[in-house]
Structure 1
Amino acid sequence: MSLPPLSSLSQITRLADKLPAADTKAAEAARARQNSLTKPPGSLGRLEELAEFIATWRGTARPEIWRAQALVFAGNHGVCAQGVNPYPQEVTAQMVANFRAGGAAINQLCAVNGADLSVIALELDRPTADFTEGPAMSETDCLDALWQGASAVDEGADVLILGEMGIGNSTVAAALAAACFGGRVAEWVGPGTGSDKAGIARKVDAIERGLKRHEAILGDPPAILAALGGREQAAICGAVLAARSARIPVVLDGFICTAAAAVLHAADKRLLDHCLVGHASAEPGHRNLLAAIDKRPVLEFDMRLGEGSGAALALGILRAALACHNGMATFAEAGVSEA
């Protein structure tokens, strides 16, 4: 099944009924297998839950990860004109080059955990508009970025790892979270790549002004994505939706990646049913966001790098979960007496 075509952002809110749902029969079969393995039921804890989760979305009681795809989307942001970032926007392109040369953390984590990494740069020479002055993207620009994200997904993958890169995008993430879920802006804002107290204050001020300017579309998550988001955030949404259409489970990275996907949750919470969150970011807004979308992270390692690094690290845990699920003997096979 391919992602239904979208001619407008408003159609996102009606997608959940058109996309595949959880395979409850596969989930039940996976749970029955877990309960037949040579261990007390539930004794592997979250590993059992993760194996069942993968089974649910791959539609088989004994899923395997033959191909793990990792996608990192990169974009630049007009809101950087408000002094919200301690690094110049040229760093986005420089880091993309580093990813492609194999020199970043995400390269090492993908290599050790068996993921094929692709980096997609989204018009880095044309930043989005400053959302304090107007919409960051037109609907056409937002849809184009969304489709670039969707088109990057390999429908033959067994799991999709998502990450991002973009100077200024922690401000964008906090703006999306505040717009979609409310609360005080300061509760969503953190240091990002290293902002000091004055830099954090500039972030809060810029977001508050952006929310005021766009208050007419608050309550309309797809419109919020265009007004406050960036191209990499829209691409992440497109990749999440394309993965769902192909029944591929998704592992989201930290705060910025989760905030992008959370726009879909705000549109219809079912749209993230096939998604895990790889880790709890040290960025303070992430825990608020995880509570808002009711997701429990796989790992808590105090990471806040981005790049998909926490999601790639969590892939190793998924592989371990499936190794136990598929490789352990049942009581009958091992000749071990059950209670």
Structure 2
Amino acid sequence: MDTTVDLDSFTSLVERPDDAARRAAEDRWLELDKPRGGLGQLEELGSWLASVQGGNRVRALSAPKVLLFAADHGIAALGLSKLPADGGTVRRVHAALDGSAPVAKLARRFGAGLRVIDLAVDADNEEFGFEVSRYRVRRGSGRIDVEDALTAEEATQAFRIGMAIADEEADLGTDLVLLGDLGVGSTAVAAVLIGALCGTDAAAVCGRGSGIDDKTWMVKCAAIRDSLRRARPVLGDQLALLAATGGADFAAITGFLLQAAVRRLPVVLDGVVSAACALIAQRISFRAPEWWRAALLTGEPALAKAYDRLTLTPLHDQQITMGEGLGALLALPLLQAASDALAEEPFVPAPAAPREPAKLPTAAELLGRL
């Protein structure tokens, strides 16, 4: 794989969504038999979908997909999460893959695909199979309060992997990405990146993550403070920042977000991890945020600061704090409703596979058993 990436090229490669398509959608809303503004925020969402799709006709969403970028973070060894640093991410990845995780259950309910990408989970290479781990950069990452998360080469590799995944999804026909992450310690890493990019101190971005108590919060806050000292000297170099105080998943998500914007693939951000990556991507291409929507606020102070800087307004507020793409997935019905209401051709789901009817006993058979 090429070990270089030209970040400056994204400034010209990322175009704005189609303003003409947005205006046509707004005219279409006025033509529908309804009160003016009667569909509320669905109208703005539908107009945004029209602009990112481009063209003369709005298409109902038919191929949404949840993407979960998974990695472990060395800073979790300090005990910053209620989830165990040893094996916690492995169990969550398995739950997503075997269908028992909430995000997997709801993806089936809403008709969305689900893909898990192992970038740096602390597990054997064979733990999840080739399709999940074929893009793995390394096993775990460095403890960012005292050392770099990645080498410069690993950060570039992960960034390019994210770009490749965006190309894959666009080529497969995915029409909306619901972006999520899996990884113990990831909220601390995100807080460092957002704190550095927004110029705030550790206490202003340190949240409760997995539901930690006051004592653990103080430990987490100190780790974020020490990590911020390491992040600030490399703020002018986005890849160096991702290597110093990010991780393979953060670098890959950043590359994914930028290349998705290049490929005109809309993305719903889930929580503080994807928001941190979005802030870095915004530094690389100022137009890129126009291709994204924010799912929700989670109570993480760093997330609110990131969305304010990105000028993104969350689509719902269900007080979900567990991450794993669940908040982004719960925004899908709103986006589906907006596209269905505006589309000239209704979305027709594929017919379910026929099933043999259950054979019920007759009354005579039941009486014969008495």
Normalised to the residue count of structure 1, the TM-score between the two structures is 0.90
Q: What is the CA–CA distance in structure 1 between the aligned matches of 2:259 and 2:311, rounded to whole Å? A: 22
CA contact (8 A) 1:180 1:219 kept: no
CA change 1:7–1:271 in 2 (3 A) is farther
SS at match of 2:343: helix
Q: What is the CA–CA distance in structure 1 between the aligned matches of 2:286 and 2:150, rounded to whole Å? A: 24
SS at match of 1:32: helix
| Pairing 1:135–2:148 present | yes
Q: What is the CA–CA distance in structure 2 between the aligned matches of 1:226 and 1:29, rounded to whole Å? A: 43
Q: What is the CA–CA distance in structure 2 between the aligned matches of 1:214 and 1:239, rounded to whole Å? A: 22
SS at match of 1:306: coil
Alignment equivalent of 1:211, drawn from 219, 225, 228 = 228
> For structure 1, which segment, 143-152 or 130-139, has the greater mean C-alpha deviation from structure 2 after superposition?
143-152
CA contact (8 A) 1:160 1:243 kept: no
Alignment equivalent of 1:181, drawn from 198, 211, 223 = 198
Instruction: Please name the residue that 2:12 is paired with.
Output: 17
SS at match of 1:117: strand
CA contact (8 A) 1:110 1:116 kept: yes
Larger Rg: 2
CA change 1:55–1:49 in 2 (3 A) is same
Q: What is the CA–CA distance in structure 2 between the aligned matches of 1:6 and 1:291, rounded to whole Å? A: 35
CA change 1:19–1:117 in 2 (3 A) is same
- How far apart are residue 101 of structure 1 and its match? 0.3
CA change 1:13–1:192 in 2 (3 A) is farther
| Pairing 1:64–2:81 present | no
| Pairing 1:149–2:162 present | yes
CA change 1:51–1:193 in 2 (3 A) is same
SS at match of 1:161: strand
Percent identity for Structure 1 against Structure 2: 31
Note the residue ranges of structure 2 that are not aligned, 5 or more in a row: 123-138, 347-370
> For structure 1, which segment, 36-45 or 306-315, has the greater mean C-alpha deviation from structure 2 after superposition?
36-45
Normalised to the residue count of structure 2, the TM-score between the two structures is 0.83
How is 1:61-100 mapped onto 2 (pairs within 5 angstroms)? 61-89=57-85, 90-100=87-97
CA contact (8 A) 1:220 1:267 kept: no
- How far apart are residue 231 of structure 1 and its match? 1.5
- How far apart are residue 56 of structure 1 and its match? 0.6
Note the residue ranges of structure 1 that are not aligned, 5 or more in a row: 330-339
CA change 1:45–1:294 in 2 (3 A) is same
> For structure 1, which segment, 84-93 or 197-206, has the greater mean C-alpha deviation from structure 2 after superposition?
84-93
Residues 242-264 of structure 1 show CA distances to partners (whole Å, capped at 9, x for unaligned) of 22122111111012221222211
Instruction: Please name the residue that 1:201 is paired with.
Output: 218
CA RMSD of aligned residues (A): 2.0
Deviation beyond 3 Å, 4+ runs, structure 1: 5-9, 219-222
SS at match of 1:72: strand
SS at match of 1:192: coil
CA contact (8 A) 2:3 2:153 kept: no
